[in-house]
């Protein structure tokens, strides 16, 4: 993460004028608000932050902020973000997207991004469904969830993103809920502050294709214990909870990948000079 | 048969594709969703859930894996169908080459949609035309009926020559437009399309292997074999069309001539543009202008001889391309220039980039383009048409 700048922006300054096309009630609105708040709390500036996404409803988020945005291709947010962070270590790089984008088509990249431990934050808005393509089962979908593409349920064991992240070497693993703006903002801020690959899974309901997820707000609760730095203990906790414990579940101290491209941090004036014609 | 289809149904292009696939009785259907192809998958899953389709629908983690699963299932001797669009087809690219090299006669329906970046959901045929050198048979459909007839025919042709086939339909104009469609009965399709029984398959009793490392000579021979199989497509397609027309009364030639008798100008197009071009031809003929349409339904292998015969003696050709190859122009325009090279009394070939990125091209606009072309010189490069 960058050292804080002198001029402080408010959360609203991180939201753009573009009106989100999300369905009313979509959890992703909450994630946008939490992210804006976290960036403000960290005293970051829009031009110091890049949001890199894949494809999906959730991946539209960068356009709704005033930060630099990169709307990539389906499943490839992490390799794009890695390339960017390595070329410009001075920027705060946040990759984000959905569970389909990150665990299905992009699942392979998830493993290797955790392993490589580049200083990135990865936010997955998990709604256990492919929202944008109208509601097919994703890797985190419950095996018995009935839908038109897999009538009677997919019948396949769900993907366990948090333990997979741990096993693959992520330095920070947390679970948040889109409806809990303050709590999610704190978790996102801590993820950005922590060096190395920080993974934040945000339960973010798809009210259109999974209306029953409106119940999540009644199911979520803070994790009974704080973060541990022992991956085995964290894995055991995650595997034995019911998927609704919120908070930082693991925070390690692995040395992040150090790119050879370190350069001077630019000031706003430097950026303005470059853009001058 | 249980739930035999009524003869005439109101179907979208996507649902006509799903009906055709159902009637072809595939055994394995690996699928990954992408707009605007999703209704095909939903319909096929519904058929399967109701017990009307005896196939295994699997949902791999991406299109790359869809094509990998399709190849192996096909080589194991199963009939395989899948559908995709745009980015999904692009992600399959590596394995499209593998499938044709392995001679796996998979049938894929591709809904033609713009490719990123920038993002769009509009009809544009660049996605599949960018796969033209992958060794797949390629068809382009004009209507929902065309989709149904072509998917069924594609299985028969692909399996006869052991080359995979891609059936393309334009996003929304064809994929989502409702039309009355004649849906044949299962017995008719069973008589037309026998069960898939390849001469080689993964068989523990008779071990063979695929995808080995080969010498330069073997590689070269392999490519030539694929080319020879492609060359047999014309004859097989003709015989397939005759049989289909005998059974259904409908004929779908590899190239179709519409009101070309005595035509001075012939419009050449593929896919949904043909429907609009027909209206333009009708309007021009009404005004006593000698204009016809040539619809290219089979694009790979390119029916060079048939095109030369059909366009001999025509003064002007207007090619409409809903695709763009940057640095060269409209793909059909440039391919047609090559196909007609050296023909006696060569026609003037005018190429128009009409409808790229889904820009709407009306029948009136096409009629104007015909007149403008006749009045001007033919240029080597393709010319942009504003919407
Ligand atoms: C290569 C490729 N295949 C398929 C698609 C179609 N597609 C777009 S978004 C998406 C899934 C989105 O699900 P998820 O990542 O969970 O995000 P959500 O929409 O639920 O936020 C799919 C399959 C695509 N854009 N590219
Ligand atoms: S479909 Fe679901 S994920 Fe997409 S915007 Fe609507 S509620 Fe959100």
Which ligand 1 atom minimizes the distance to the CA of A132? 19
A78 Cα to chain B: minimum distance (Å): 16
Residue A1 lies in a domain: no
Contacting residues for B114 by C-beta, under 8 A, at least 6 apart:
B86, B120, B121, B122, B123, B124, B126, B127, B357, B358
pLDDT value of residue B1:
46
Considering every ligand atom shown, identify the ligand nearest to the alpha carbon of residue A55 and give its number.
Answer: 1
Residue A3 lies in a domain: no
A-chain residue closest to B42, CA distance? A149
C-alpha–C-alpha distance, residues A117 and A232, integer Å? 18
A120 lies in some domain: yes
CB contact under 8 A, A154 and B62: no
**Portion of chain B with pLDDT greater than 70, in percent:** 99
| Nearest CB neighbour to B42, from listed A105, A149, A154 | A149
Q: In angstroms, how far is CA B156 from the centroid of its own chain?
A: 14
Span from the CA of A168 to the centroid of ligand 1 (angstroms)? 24
Taking CA atoms, what residue in A is nearest to B46?
A148
What's the per-residue H, E or C state across A5-17?
CCCCCCHHHHECC
B48 CB neighbours in chain A (<8 A) are: 151
What is the domain range of residue A156?
A: 11-274
Q: Write out pLDDT tens, residues B307-346.
A: 999 999 999 999 999 999 999 999 999 999 999 999 999 9
Answer whether residue A159 is part of any domain.
yes
Asked whether A126 lines ligand 1 (CB < 6 A), one says: no
Q: In chain B, what percentage of residues exceed pLDDT 90? A: 94
B35: chain A residues, CB-CB within 8 Å: 132-133
Q: To which residue do tokens 């431990």 refer?
A: A117
Measured in Å, residue A97 CA sits from the centre of ligand 1 at 9
- Total domains in chain A come to 1
Q: Taking an 8 Å Cβ-Cβ cutoff, which residues of chain A contact chain B? A: 55, 71, 73-75, 104-105, 107, 130, 132-134, 136-137, 139, 148-152, 154
Q: What is the ipTM of this complex?
A: 0.91
- Give the separation between CA B362 and CA B273, rounded to whole angstroms: 9
* DSSP structure class, residue B195: P
The Å distance, Cα A56 to ligand 2 centre, comes to: 9
Q: How far is it, in rounded angstroms, from Cα B324 to Cα B333?
A: 10
**Domain of residue A255, CATH code:** 3.40.50.970
Contact A136 B59 (CB under 8 A): yes
Determine, yes or no, domain membership for A95: yes
**To the nearest whole number, what is the mean pLDDT of chain B?**
96
- How far apart are alpha carbons B372 and B384 in whole angstroms? 13
The answer as to whether A143 is a domain residue is: yes
Spatial distance between the Cα atoms of A44 and B323, rounded to a whole number of angstroms: 44
**Cβ atoms of residues B155 and B24 within 8 Å:** yes
Residues of A in contact with B61 (CB under 8 A): 104-105, 107, 139
Mutate to test the pocket of ligand 2, among A19, A20, A21, A23 (most ligand atoms within 8 A of CB): A23
Please name the residues in contact with B139: beta carbons below 8 A apart, sequence gap of 6 or more.
B150, B154, B165, B166, B167, B168, B297, B298, B299
- A131 domain-assigned: yes
A25 domain-assigned: yes
Q: d(Cα A95, Cα A51) in Å, to the nearest integer?
A: 6
**DSSP conformational letter for B5:** P
* pLDDT tens per residue, range B112-159: 999 999 999 999 999 999 999 999 999 999 999 999 999 999 999 999
Ordered mean pLDDT values, 10 residues apiece, chain A (277 residues): 68 98 98 98 97 98 98 97 95 98 98 98 98 96 89 92 97 98 98 98 98 98 96 95 97 91 72 79
Q: Which residues of chain B have pLDDT under 50?
A: 1-2
Rounded to 5°, the CA angle A177-A181-A186 comes to 90
Four-residue CA torsion sign, B255, B258, B259, B264: negative
**Which pLDDT belongs to residue A152?**
87
Nearest atom in ligand 2 to the alpha carbon of residue A207 is: 7
């Amino acid at each position: 993460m960058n050292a804080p700048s002198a001029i402080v922006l408010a959360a609203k300054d991180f939201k753009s004028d573009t009106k989100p096309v999300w369905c009313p009630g979509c959890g992703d609105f909450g994630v946008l608000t939490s992210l804006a708040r976290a960036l403000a709390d960290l005293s970051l500036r829009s031009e110091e932050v890049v949001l890199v996404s894949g494809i999906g409803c959730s991946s539209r988020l960068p356009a709704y902020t005033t930060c630099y945005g990169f709307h990539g291709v389906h499943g490839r947010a992490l390799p794009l973000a890695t390339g960017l962070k390595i070329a410009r270590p001075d920027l705060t790089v946040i990759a984000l997207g959905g569970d389909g984008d990150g665990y299905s088509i992009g699942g392979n990249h998830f493993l290797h991004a955790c392993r490589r431990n580049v200083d990135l934050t990865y936010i997955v808005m998990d709604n256990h469904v492919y929202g944008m393509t109208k509601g097919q089962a994703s890797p985190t979908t419950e095996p018995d969830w009935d839908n038109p593409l897999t009538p009677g349920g997919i019948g396949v064991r769900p993907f366990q993103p948090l333990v997979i992240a741990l096993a693959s070497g992520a330095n920070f693993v947390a679970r948040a809920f889109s409806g809990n703006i303050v709590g999610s903002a704190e978790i996102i801020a801590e993820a950005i502050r922590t060096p190395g690959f920080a993974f934040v899974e945000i339960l973010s309901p798809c009210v259109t294709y999974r209306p029953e997820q409106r119940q999540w707000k009644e199911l979520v609760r803070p994790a009974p214990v704080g973060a541990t730095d022992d991956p085995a203990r964290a894995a055991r906790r995650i595997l034995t909870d019911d998927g609704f414990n919120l908070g930082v579940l693991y925070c390690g101290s692995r040395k992040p990948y150090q790119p050879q491209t370190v350069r001077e941090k630019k000031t706003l004036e430097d950026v303005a000079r470059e853009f001058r014609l | 048969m249980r739930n035999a289809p009524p003869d005439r149904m109101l179907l979208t292009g996507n649902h006509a594709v799903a009906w055709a696939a159902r009637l072809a009785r595939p055994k394995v259907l690996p699928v990954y969703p992408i707009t605007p192809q999703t209704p095909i998958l939903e319909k096929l899953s519904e058929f399967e859930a109701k017990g009307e389709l005896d196939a295994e629908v699997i949902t791999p983690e991406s299109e790359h894996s869809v094509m990998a699963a399709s190849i192996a299932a096909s080589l194991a001797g199963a009939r395989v169908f899948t559908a995709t669009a745009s980015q999904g087809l692009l992600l399959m690219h590596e394995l499209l080459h593998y499938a044709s090299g392995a001679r796996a006669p998979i049938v894929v329906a591709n809904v033609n949609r713009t490719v990123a970046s920038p993002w769009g959901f509009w009809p544009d045929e660049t996605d599949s035309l960018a796969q033209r050198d992958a060794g797949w048979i390629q068809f382009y459909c004009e209507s929902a009926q065309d989709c149904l007839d072509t998917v069924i025919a594609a299985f028969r042709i692909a399996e006869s020559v052991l080359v995979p086939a891609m059936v393309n339909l334009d996003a929304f104009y064809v994929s989502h437009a409702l039309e009355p469609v004649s849906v044949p009965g299962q017995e008719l399709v069973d008589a037309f399309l026998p069960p898939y029984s390849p001469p080689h398959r993964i068989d523990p009793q008779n071990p063979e292997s695929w995808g080995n490392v080969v010498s330069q000579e073997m590689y070269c021979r392999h490519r030539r074999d694929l080319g020879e199989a492609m060359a047999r497509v014309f004859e097989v397609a003709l015989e397939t069309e005759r049989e289909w027309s005998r059974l259904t009364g409908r004929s779908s030639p590899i190239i179709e001539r519409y009101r070309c008798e005595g035509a001075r100008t012939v419009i050449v197009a593929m896919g949904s543009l043909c429907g609009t071009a027909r209206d333009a031809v009708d309007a021009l003929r009404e005004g006593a202008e000698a204009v016809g349409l040539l619809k290219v339904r089979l694009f790979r292998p390119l029916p060079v001889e048939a095109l030369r015969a059909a366009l001999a003696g025509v003064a002007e050709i207007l090619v409409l391309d809903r695709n763009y190859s940057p640095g060269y122009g409209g793909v059909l325009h440039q391919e047609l220039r090559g196909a007609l090279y050296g023909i006696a009394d060569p026609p003037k070939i005018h190429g128009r980039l009409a409808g790229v990125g889904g820009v709407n091209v009306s029948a009136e606009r096409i009629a104007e383009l015909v007149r403008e072309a006749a009045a001007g010189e033919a240029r080597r490069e393709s010319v942009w048409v504003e919407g």
